[in-house]
Amino acid sequence: MPQMGESVMEGTVIEWVKSVGDTVEVDETLLEIATDKVDTEVPSPESGTLVEILVEADETVEVGQTIAIIDTEGGEPESSSEGDSGKETDTETETESSDDSDSEDAEASEEKTEKQTEESTEAPAATNGTSSSENGDTGEGEGEGEGEGEGEGEGEGEGEEKEGEGERIEVVMPQMGESVMEGEVIEWIKSVGDTVEVDEPLLEIATDKVDTEVPSPEAGTLTEILVEAGDTVEVGQPIAIISTGKPASGGGNGKDTSGSSSQKKETSSSSKESKEAEATETASAESTTSTADAEGNGSEPQRIGSDGRFFSPLVRSIAKEENISQEELESIEGSGKEGRVSKSDVMNYLEDRKEGKVQPKKSSAKSSGGLKKPTSQPKEKQSSDSSKISAGELNVSRPQENVERIKMDRMRKMIAEHMVRSKQTSAHVTTFSEVDVSNIVKWRNKNKAKFQEQTGIKLTFTPIFIEAFIKAIGEFPLINSSVDGDEIILKKDINFGLAVALGEGGQGGLIVPVIKQAQDKNLPGIAKAVNDLAYKARNKELSPDDLVGGTITLTNYGSVGNLMGTPIINQPQVAILGTGVIEKRPVVRETVDGDVIAIRHQMFLSMSYDHRIIDGAHGGAFTSRVKELLEDFDPDRAI
């Protein structure tokens, strides 16, 4: 049983992928193991035949405990029998080589192999204080036979480790934004021993801004995982090792399997005795489990639910342990991609069930007297039964009691911490301007159909506003900067962040993707970038690169009908712009014939800025310049 993290001392066998008698290759998956942090696969340390399974499914195994025996082809079986008679050696060789043409060829091959082995292990044997036998076919004593076996095993293990792994590449925690210094590992998509391609996702990472996948920097084999699910990782910290050569055997495991024959025989015999002693208990436990299910615990959790969602071995293991039926499991709202249920989702559900906020669903399996595939309930019923709140969810149902506590999910806690940290870092000041955007409204109404025909993109007001902001920033470069101690960092590129609310009414939280080098784009280019990022954000397809490097941010609270707001600065930036709803209002207009009252399209523009480096006059001058650019928009301009 391999070590899967400093705090992980044991794991539960979920299922064996291989059976006794199966041929396995190096790093091919043998079984699935579940720990309290992650589900993972255990790879084979050597090529050969799986001759014995020492622990069964659902058994708990301590780290370092022997779980299986692999018989390597033409390797240790011959070495371990060198202390026996020549007759026994010949018999074993004939048995193992029964698939070859005849026994004479097998014996000749064995003699050749043993002579090569004797020559290659002569030096290690001498070092260990054991002289090599001149009669290498049978050996002159048990001690010498064991000495040769150990030397041979170690030589092979070290050779495979050096030749098999190839170049070892360190995968480090990537930079996901200037203000992002760490992230939390949600889950590993790949397991040790898996083959990965360049840019294939390795794991999911959560930061205070986004949940995202970390891609593989190289093609090869994932040979080591250095951090476990739930661990917090700093930017630049190594998180995994990838070998670019052929699949690595792993030095430690190779040495473990190359021990002396006497140790293997003892392990084999003791495991057989323990398996026979536990046979009755296992049968009894299985009988009890099946009886409990039949008495009304519901359908046993399945790999694929009737609603098409995949349930991981860890989730199924927890569900089985906590008597959560398949029907209950499918009623849990998943926070993962495509509604996938995670460990945290199940634990939250168990807390709610314990507090009486949800009622366990009764299974139809009780009446039928056995397991049957559950049918999914209507979506309306699922949503009404769920009291779990998503990050930023607004439509919380009325509490049943006078006071009801709802635990924040991880994303909401991160957003909260980021907002408070920003207020503690920057001296916030907000300034407002009322802007007449009648010319922009008129131009958009006249050209939106033509714009979509030419570009394939719907024309919104946001790209037009961003175009004006970029022009103003060119005249006020301090707005596009950040603060580092007692230094101001001016930035040439204008990387425009867009605050995007996820889900209807912002149920899914808030995320800020970035338009890189926005100053180099024309209006159609900005419109395309805005459309692409908004689509990717709402469909959870953003990459880490989409979220880093922002220098200024725009938030549109007008999208939910608000007039104005005082947005919080997105650190480490020094300013954030906000646009309110566009409304028709009566305003006084100056004309050559005197003042008149006219109906105009009006909008409030706000900007929160960092008063540590931006004074009121400078911030006010910037918003006035933006107001001027928007009001002087040419209604006759070409697309």
Tokens encoding 499: 């605050």
Q: How far is CA 330 from CA 82, 292, 301, 373, in A?
A: 58, 20, 9, 12
Burial class (CB in 10 A: 0-12, 13-18, 19+), 104: exposed
Cα–Cα distance, 197 to 193 (Å, whole number): 13
- Residue ranges with strand state E in 530-582: 552-556, 575-579
CA angle, residues 13, 18, 24, in degrees to nearest 5? 125
- List 554's β-bridge partners, or say none: 498, 577
Cis peptide before 215 (omega within 30 of 0): no
Cα–Cα distance, 588 to 454 (Å, whole number): 38
Cα–Cα distance, 487 to 419 (Å, whole number): 23
| DSSP codes joined into one string, 429-442 | EEEEEEEE-HHHHH
Amino acid in the structure at residue 167: E
Contacts of 53 (CB under 8 A, 6+ apart): 16, 19, 20, 67, 68
Which one from 100, 520, 615, 618 is the annotated catalytic residue? 615
> Cα 596 vs. chain centroid, distance in angstroms?
61
Query: Is residue 211 within 8 Å of residue 391, measured between CB atoms?
Result: no
Asked about 22 being catalytic, the answer comes back as: no
Q: How far is CA 394 from CA 239, 273, 386, 401, 505, in A?
A: 36, 60, 14, 19, 7
Asked about 418 being catalytic, the answer comes back as: no
Contacts of 101 (CB under 8 A, 6+ apart): none
- Residue ranges with strand state E in 110-231: 168-172, 182-188, 195-196, 201-206, 211-215, 220-225
Which one from 611, 618, 634, 636 is the annotated catalytic residue? 611
Q: Which ranges constitute the DSSP H helices of 311-437? A: 313-321, 326-331, 343-354, 365-368, 379-385, 410-425
Query: Residue 255: helix, strand or coil by DSSP?
Result: helix
- Closest by Cα among 426, 437, 478 to 461: 437
Active site residues: 611, 615
